[in-house]
């Protein structure tokens, strides 16, 4: 029986609502994927209270970290778990369209990223002396491209994680070095030259730069064109490998 696009969208919406309920019913996952970046924001905000220059670095940095946590880390771990537990294989055999199921999972991660960035922006204004974003369009643009890039990389990375027990180690092996190198907690421009070179090759650095431009410095999108190109290259590579390596079944079985 063929389904219309309206039917597919309705099924995606219903599955998305289920994913949201399941997310909040798992406190551990909710904490590490959602509240951990906000905890970092509160801790560093308290430590750097009264040092506005440092706070102007931390707030956009935590926003970028939030995007990576809720997309790259969450999707890499969740897809590994779903594949290993046979959930993906079972869902493949149900009447629910594959696109609706995967779209709902992606939309759940996007929602978490959007909510976290919104909370960071509001907290920056209310508690950390950061004004409202100077360029809302640029902020939305960088959040959107950041989500697309890091989500695709998270799906691609899940393909090389052997099992769910190893997932936290595999994810943190990438996540922790990247957030430190990319200038989440400090101005990456002040890092040693070799770290700056590595940071400029990573997408998170440019996502943070774009968010900082929208919130703090007021630089235009054109000024960050090279950074957008780097994000685009990573997104294209992530999408290619995410699609090429995707499997509904546990490869280790």
Residue 193 token pair? 């030259």
| pLDDT in the model for residue 206 | 94
138 vs 82: CA distance, rounded Å: 35
| Cα dihedral across residues 124, 128, 130, 131: positive or negative | positive
Measured between alpha carbons, how far is 35 from 38 in angstroms, rounded to an integer?
Answer: 5
Is 253 domain-assigned? no
- Please state, in angstroms and rounded to a whole number, the distance separating the CA atoms of residues 181 and 175: 10
Backbone dihedral angles phi then psi of residue 250, each to the nearest 5 degrees: -70, 120
Residue 178 lies in a domain: yes
Question: In the predicted model, what is the mean pLDDT of residues 188-200?
Answer: 83
Question: How many whole angstroms separate alpha carbon 190 and alpha carbon 192?
Answer: 7
Domains held by the chain: number: 1
Q: Which residues of 92-121 are buried (b: 16+ CB within 10 A; e: fewer)?
A: eeeebeeebbbbbbbbbbbebbbebbebbb
Q: What pLDDT is stored for residue 253 in this prediction?
A: 53
* Cα(138)–Cα(48) distance, integer angstroms: 27
Domain that holds residue 237: 5-244
158 located within any domain: yes
Q: How confident is the model at residue 32, as a pLDDT?
A: 67
Residue 74 belongs to some domain of the structure: yes
Q: Could you give phi then psi for residue 86, rounded to 5 degrees?
A: 80, 10
97-146 residue pLDDT tens: 888 888 888 888 889 889 889 988 998 888 888 889 888 999 999 999 99
Expressed in angstroms, the distance from the first to the final Cα of the chain is: 32
Query: What is the structure's pLDDT at 209?
Result: 92
Q: Kindly state whether residue 251 falls inside one of the protein's structural domains.
A: no
**Locus of tokens 């630089």:** 219
Q: Give residue-wise pLDDT tens across range 6-32.
A: 778 888 898 989 888 888 777 766 676
Neighbour tally for 4: CB within 10 Å: 8
pLDDT at 33: 66
Instruction: Supply 176's token pair.
Output: 């922790």
Contact (CB, 8 A) for 158 and 82: no
| Residues contacting residue 216 through CB under 8 Å, at least 6 positions apart | 56, 59, 60, 130, 134
Q: Is residue 137 part of a domain?
A: yes
Q: What is the pLDDT of residue 217?
A: 82
Instruction: Say if 221 falls within a structural domain.
Output: yes
């Amino acid at each position: 029986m063929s389904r219309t696009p309206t039917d597919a969208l309705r099924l995606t919406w219903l599955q998305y609502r289920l994913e949201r309920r399941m997310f909040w019913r798992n406190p551990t996952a909710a904490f590490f994927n959602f509240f951990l970046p906000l905890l970092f924001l509160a801790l560093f905000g308290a430590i750097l209270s009264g040092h506005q220059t440092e706070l102007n670095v931390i707030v956009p940095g935590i926003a970028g970290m939030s995007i990576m946590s809720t997309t790259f880390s969450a999707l890499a771990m969740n897809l590994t778990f779903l594949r290993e537990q046979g959930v993906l294989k079972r869902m493949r055999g149900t009447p629910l369209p594959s696109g609706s199921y995967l779209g709902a999972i992606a939309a759940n991660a996007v929602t978490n990223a959007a909510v976290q960035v919104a909370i960071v922006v509001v907290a920056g204004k209310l508690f950390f002396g950061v004004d409202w974003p100077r360029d809302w369009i640029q902020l939305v643009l960088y959040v959107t491209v950041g989500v697309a890039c890091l989500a695709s990389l998270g799906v691609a990375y899940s393909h090389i994680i052997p099992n769910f027990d190893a997932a936290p180690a595999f994810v943190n092996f990438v996540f922790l070095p990247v957030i430190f190198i990319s200038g989440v907690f400090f101005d990456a421009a002040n890092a040693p030259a070799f770290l700056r070179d590595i940071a400029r090759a990573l997408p998170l650095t440019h996502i943070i730069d774009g968010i900082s431009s929208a919130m703090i410095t007021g630089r235009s999108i054109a000024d960050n064109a090279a950074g957008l190109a780097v994000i685009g290259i990573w997104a294209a590579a992530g999408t290619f490998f995410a699609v090429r390596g995707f499997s509904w079944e546990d490869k280790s079985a």
